[in-house]
Amino acid sequence: MSSIRFALAQLNPIVGDITGNSLAILEAVRDAHGRGARVIVTPELSVTGYPVEDLASSSDFIRQSEIGVAALATRIAADGFGDAIVVVGFVERATEEEFGGARAHNSLAVLSHGKVVATYAKRHLPTYSVFDEERIFVPGAGTLIMNLGGVATGFLICEDLWRDDGPVSELAEHDLDVVVVINASPFDTAKDETRFPLLHTRALEFRAPVVYVNAVGGQDDLVFDGDSAVLDAEGTVLLRAPLFTPALELIDITGTGFAGDGISLTEPSDTITPSVALDLPDIEATWNALVLGVRDYTLKNGFPSIVLGLSGGIDSAVCATIAADAIGAQRVFGVSMPSQFSSDGSKDDARALATNLGCHYDTHPIAELVEPFERELNLSGLAAENIQARARGMVLMSLSNQHGHLVLSTGNKSEVAVGYSTIYGDSVGGYAPLKDVFKTLVWDLARWRNSVATERGETPPIPENSISKPPSAELRPDQTDQDSLPPYDVLDAILEQLISRRDSIDTVISHGFERSTVERVAGLITGAEWKRRQGAIGPRISRMAFGRERRLPITMRQTPGLG
């Protein structure tokens, strides 16, 4: 019987930044080693970041990944931690190139005493939803089981754990003391319903504890939530890392005396109690995911600040609040761009929001910017409405050009779905925080964030009027969104079925919605595909986000009955 301290290093890598990611791993090793840990586990592709996409097809990148891992092993030993086992994820050259060009494995490396002592290549390559791993990776073969200081340890990488066949069933045939799973598993609001039940099931199948280490952080449209955990052999949660933040968590794992050759490890001299972080309600997890997505897109891409238009409406108010929570209000620049159709109420609400948040605030009226276009081109109707939105987009992009701000696009998922936006107008920007947030959820988030402020004794940031007034683009007199669209509760319910559940029009109608409404919405979704292709990316929080998760042609005849 031996007891070895394991560390779960819930890290936030940057794709491609092999040097920076290696330094973060080294820092975690230093910290964990000092606290008695001798097995330090980092997430899937912790050295290269995840997802690497077509970087995995570059021979040069593969070489750098392999050199990076070797250098990291050397450095860990040189710094005096060679007596620890460090588990990292990296891109490894495959023996053979596949037809089509995949030539690398998604692998883990076990580092010890300055060397890579073992590797394991992921066998199940997810190729659905947001994942394209069969495109870029060659599947591995075999399993990896090691004696780590007397602890019989099996290894898996992410998707391997989700499939019954292959490595899961093969590891279950052995008497293991622990199964280590390294992951880069992105957040969505349905994840809770599947991740922990799966870990529970696997622990029972393995008759052994499961150490689940996930990445954390925003990477383009994906937000990794962390939520690393350890379950015992009965499926009871012994350790749970906090969500949406890097963490280093420790737990002692008992070995039952493994027969094979092993790596000697020092047992801990003290005892610890693993922490079990509380789960978050969906609404809070969603808010945190949006904040982390915005923060990491901004900081990892080197933007010093954020600029966005403040209309007085709910979408821009929620976006500004997310931005302030992400990088601090003093780095957020709100711009009011009123026209003759902007109500006094809207202008007041925009100013009140900025005051509540403590962000920068400036005003650039657009009447004089728009008028020359209207005159030169004799614009009216939709063309005239669009010019207003586009003039605002030009103002924001000019401010970005002058000051280096990241422009946030404030459109929500309901608008993006039906194309209720002006392309090159209100859609401009590098990142769209609400792209995967339906309008009804935007309201819920606003109310929730205000209530949190109240609980903390702070001023609720979002003006009550922005939440309660009827939504309007204010591009013509007395316009409201409901002149053009069904009420948002109806629209969002239809969108949820047509998009997220891929229900047919007939199925949606059978749930009590009007045929004409459902057919019109379905037509709008198809017609807006070309705009969506040119839209900014934004943080994914659902199981059917626009972008790489939902791939449809632009050129497509609407087949009746199809969502």
Binding residues for its own copies, how many (CB under 8 A)? 87
Q: Which is nearer to its own copies, 50 or 443 (CB)?
A: 50
Are 183 and 211 within 8 A, CB to CB? no
Q: Distance (Å, rounded) from C-alpha 146 to C-alpha 178?
A: 10
What part of residues 298-317 is at the interface with its own copies (CB under 8 A)? 300-301
Report, in Å, the least distance between residue 165 CB and its own copies.
9
Contacts of 427 (CB under 8 A, 6+ apart): 393, 409, 411, 421, 531, 534, 535, 536
Report, in Å, the least distance between residue 563 CB and its own copies.
7
Task: Assess whether 44 carries a catalytic annotation.
Answer: yes
Q: By CB under 8 A, name the one of 158, 215, 399, 418 that touches its own copies.
A: 399
What part of residues 96-115 is at the interface with its own copies (CB under 8 A)? 99-102
Catalytic residue of the set 92, 133, 158, 531: 158
Report, in Å, the least distance between residue 145 CB and its own copies.
24
Q: How far is CA 561 from CA 486, 488, 509, in A?
A: 19, 22, 10
Report, in Å, the least distance between residue 87 CB and its own copies.
22
Is 220 a residue that touches its own copies (CB under 8 A)?
yes
Site string for its own copies, 484-523 (x = CB under 8 A): ------------------x-x-xx----------------
Report, in Å, the least distance between residue 255 CB and its own copies.
33
SS3 of 228-272: the string is: CEEECCCCCEEEECCECCCEEEEEEEEECCCCCCEECCCCCCCCC
Are 346 and 466 within 8 A, CB to CB? no
The piece of 236-244, 248-256, 398-406, 489-497 that touches its own copies (CB under 8 A) is 398-406
The piece of 9-17, 148-156, 192-200, 516-524 that touches its own copies (CB under 8 A) is 9-17
Are 45 and 13 within 8 A, CB to CB? yes
- For residue 294, what are its two tokens? 């915005």
Is 158 a residue that touches its own copies (CB under 8 A)?
no
Task: Assess whether 122 carries a catalytic annotation.
Answer: yes
Q: Distance (Å, rounded) from C-alpha 324 to C-alpha 301?
A: 17
Q: By CB under 8 A, name the one of 536, 538, 542, 546 that touches its own copies.
A: 536
Is 57 a residue that touches its own copies (CB under 8 A)?
yes
Q: By CB under 8 A, name the one of 304, 372, 487, 523 that touches its own copies.
A: 372
Report, in Å, the least distance between residue 418 CB and its own copies.
18
Q: By CB under 8 A, name the one of 33, 390, 405, 449 that touches its own copies.
A: 390
Are 146 and 120 within 8 A, CB to CB? no
- For residue 165, what are its two tokens? 């066949």
Q: Which is nearer to its own copies, 233 or 562 (CB)?
A: 562
What part of residues 222-281 is at the interface with its own copies (CB under 8 A)? none
Report, in Å, the least distance between residue 346 CB and its own copies.
20
Q: By CB under 8 A, name the one of 23, 27, 78, 163 that touches its own copies.
A: 163
Task: Assess whether 413 carries a catalytic annotation.
Answer: no
Is 283 a residue that touches its own copies (CB under 8 A)?
no
DSSP 8-state assignment for residue 335? E
For residue 110, the number of C-alpha atoms closer than 13 Å in the C-beta half-sphere is 22
Q: Distance (Å, rounded) from C-alpha 493 to C-alpha 113?
A: 57
What part of residues 436-495 is at the interface with its own copies (CB under 8 A)? none
Q: By CB under 8 A, name the one of 43, 154, 419, 430 that touches its own copies.
A: 430
Q: By CB under 8 A, name the one of 55, 84, 184, 320 that touches its own copies.
A: 55
Tell me whether strands 216-219 and 222-225 are parallel, antiparallel or unpaired: antiparallel
Site string for its own copies, 541-560 (x = CB under 8 A): ---------xxxxxxxxxx-
Q: By CB under 8 A, name the one of 2, 10, 42, 64 that touches its own copies.
A: 64
Catalytic residue of the set 44, 92, 159, 496: 44
Per DSSP, the three-state class of 105 is: strand
Helices 314-327 and 439-455 sit at what angle, rounded to 10 degrees? 50
Q: How far is CA 45 from the centre of its chain?
A: 16
- For residue 366, what are its two tokens? 């657009």
For residue 451, the number of C-alpha atoms closer than 13 Å in the C-beta half-sphere is 8
The verdict on whether omega for the bond into residue 486 sits within 30 degrees of 0, i.e. cis, is no
Q: Which is nearer to its own copies, 12 or 112 (CB)?
A: 12
Q: Which is nearer to its own copies, 204 or 397 (CB)?
A: 397
The piece of 11-19, 84-92, 104-112, 467-475 that touches its own copies (CB under 8 A) is 11-19
The radius of gyration computed from the CA coordinates of the chain, to the nearest angstrom, equals 26
Q: Distance (Å, rounded) from C-alpha 65 to C-alpha 49?
A: 10
Report, in Å, the least distance between residue 244 CB and its own copies.
17
Report, in Å, the least distance between residue 560 CB and its own copies.
9
Report, in Å, the least distance between residue 283 CB and its own copies.
26
Q: Which is nearer to its own copies, 45 or 151 (CB)?
A: 45
Backbone angles phi, psi at 371, to 5 degrees: -55, -45
What part of residues 111-150 is at the interface with its own copies (CB under 8 A)? 126-129, 132, 134-135
Tell me whether strands 104-112 and 85-93 are parallel, antiparallel or unpaired: antiparallel
Task: Work out the burial of residue 534: count CB atoms within 10 Å of its CB; fewer than 13 is exposed, 13-18 middle, 19 or more buried.
Answer: exposed
Report, in Å, the least distance between residue 507 CB and its own copies.
8
Is 391 a residue that touches its own copies (CB under 8 A)?
yes
Q: Distance (Å, rounded) from C-alpha 225 to C-alpha 392?
A: 34
Q: Which is nearer to its own copies, 38 or 531 (CB)?
A: 531
What part of residues 323-342 is at the interface with its own copies (CB under 8 A)? none
- For residue 128, what are its two tokens? 């659905």
Q: How far is CA 272 from the centre of its chain?
A: 32
Catalytic residue of the set 66, 92, 122, 413: 122
Tell me whether strands 2-10 and 247-255 are parallel, antiparallel or unpaired: antiparallel
Q: Which residues are registered as beta bridge partners of 86? A: 40, 111
Which residues are known catalytic residues? 44, 122, 158
